[in-house]
Amino acid sequence: MDYRPGSILDPERAAQASELLPDGLVAAEADARVSFLNRRATQVLGMRRRDLLGRDIREALTLRDSDGTDWWEATDPWSGLNIRTGHREKFLMLEGGREVLVTAKYLRPGRNQPVNRVLIMVRDAEARRRLEADHAALISTVAHELRSPLTSVKGFSSTLLRRWDRFTDDQKRLMIETIEADADRVTRLITELLDVSRIDAGRLQIRPQPIDVAAVFGRHVERAVASGQDRDRFRIEVPQDLPEVWADPDRLDQILSNLIENAFRHGDGVITLAAVPSEGDSQEGLAARGHHTTGVDVVVSDEGKGISTDHRDLVFSRFWHGSGRGSTGLGLYVVKGLVEAHGGQVRVESATPSGGAQFRLTLPSEPPDYLA
């Protein structure tokens, strides 16, 4: 790298360019003394510029592995093999125990020549640790949620196999129905996890087509009644002149199933399934997302205690359970991802006049541009 005055990267221009980097940059010369560091490096390392400049980097910047090994002694950039070019990103600890992510690049004047400059990139490890904590929480949640239904399936199926003749037909039916319900629970969890993965990776595919919302509501009510719910617990409110919604039918069913199940689990009283042409904030929300300016508001509300205003910004985050548990905490996160994949938006409100929870999702009532 040429730092001579007038070169493409003279010291002044190099210093200016380094301040644009999102990570900290520290440079040490052939004698291991620090010759340069940008402002971000002082922030990440929590050290002042004068505490590093001109000092031997191995003494001024303590870096240790998780087992306490001195990283400079282990890597020895200046005296090691002449074919090394650097080190990949690694978690290291500063003096005091704070972790940072460190990447090293070794610069040589020629092939197999001694190192004449070492560049160290440092990054705050907090965001990476939060991501790892989220992954650990996801694994813990999955393990917990899978263990209960699988234990039930294993217990009932083993009991039936060993003692089939001892049970009446009604007892056998109850056990088999329990096995089926637990298998469905496992299937739903796996579906949620796959959707979370697709949402996070931006690979969720939507195949929209015109849908009659009233007919969809009717099917969900009939399904709930067939599973043992009281028909009087439902109210459908859809105007006759309501335009069709452009949505993926399977995904819309998944959205409504999650919201209705959420109303059963955490709400109370009558569950209202409503739809109205979007207006005001809903239309502005569609336009702000770069999609259609006309749409339909699909509303699912109950007559329970509702969700406090302090929690409304949290309900669509992963693993949110509110005041109680009993679910994976992934359902509403998936709902938000599915709605936004349609170009819509979803928000939680207070139902009027009951004060229960009300989820309003705005979906387009026109085909997307690539289908128009």
**Which parts of 63-220 are beta strand (E)?**
86-93, 99-107, 117-124, 209-211
d(CA 263, CA 273): 11
Q: What are the φ/ψ torsions at residue 35 (nearest 5 degrees)?
A: -110, -15
pLDDT tens readout for residues 279-318: 866 555 555 555 556 789 999 999 988 888 878 878 888 7
DSSP of 255-309, one letter per residue? Answer: HHHHHHHHHHHH--SPEEEEEEE--THHHHHHHHTTS-S-EEEEEEE-SS----G
Asked if pLDDT for residue 6 goes beyond 50, the answer is no
Residue 197: what residue type? Answer: S
Task: Considering the chain, tell me which residue range(s) the CATH 3.30.565.10 domain(s) occupy.
Answer: 209-364
- Contacting residues for 31 by C-beta, under 8 A, at least 6 apart: 56
C-alpha dist (Å) from residue 368 to 180, 293, 339, 343, 361: 39, 11, 14, 9, 17
CATH code for 11-124?
3.30.450.20
Identify which of 239, 229, 222, 368 has the alpha carbon closest to the alpha carbon of residue 299: 239
Q: How many residues does the chain have?
A: 372
d(CA 356, CA 348): 10
Query: Which sign does the torsion angle of CA 11, 13, 15, 17 carry?
Result: negative
Does the pTM exceed 0.75?
no
| pLDDT for position 323 | 53
- Tell me: cis bond preceding 353? Omega within 30 of 0 counts: yes
Beta bridge pairs of residue 88: none
Q: What are the φ/ψ torsions at residue 33 (nearest 5 degrees)?
A: -85, 140
- The answer to whether the CB of 176 falls within 8 A of the CB of 199 is no
Q: What angle in degrees, to the nearest 10, is found between the helix axes of 249-266 and 213-226?
A: 50
| pLDDT for position 2 | 47
Task: Considering the chain, tell me which residue range(s) the CATH 1.10.287.130 domain(s) occupy.
Answer: 129-201
H-helix or E-strand spanning residue 266: helix 249-266
Q: Which fold has domain 129-201?
A: Helix Hairpins (1.10.287)
Identify which of 285, 302, 261, 303 has the alpha carbon closest to the alpha carbon of residue 340: 285
pLDDT tens readout for residues 233-249: 999 999 999 999 999 99
Q: Which fold has domain 209-364?
A: Heat Shock Protein 90 (3.30.565)
pLDDT tens readout for residues 112-160: 888 999 999 998 877 777 777 777 777 776 777 788 788 889 999 999 9
| pLDDT for position 67 | 80
- Residue 103 pLDDT class (50, 70, 90 cuts): very high
Task: Considering the chain, tell me which residue range(s) the CATH 3.30.450.20 domain(s) occupy.
Answer: 11-124
For the segment 15-23, the average pLDDT, to the nearest whole number, is 81
For the segment 51-73, the average pLDDT, to the nearest whole number, is 90
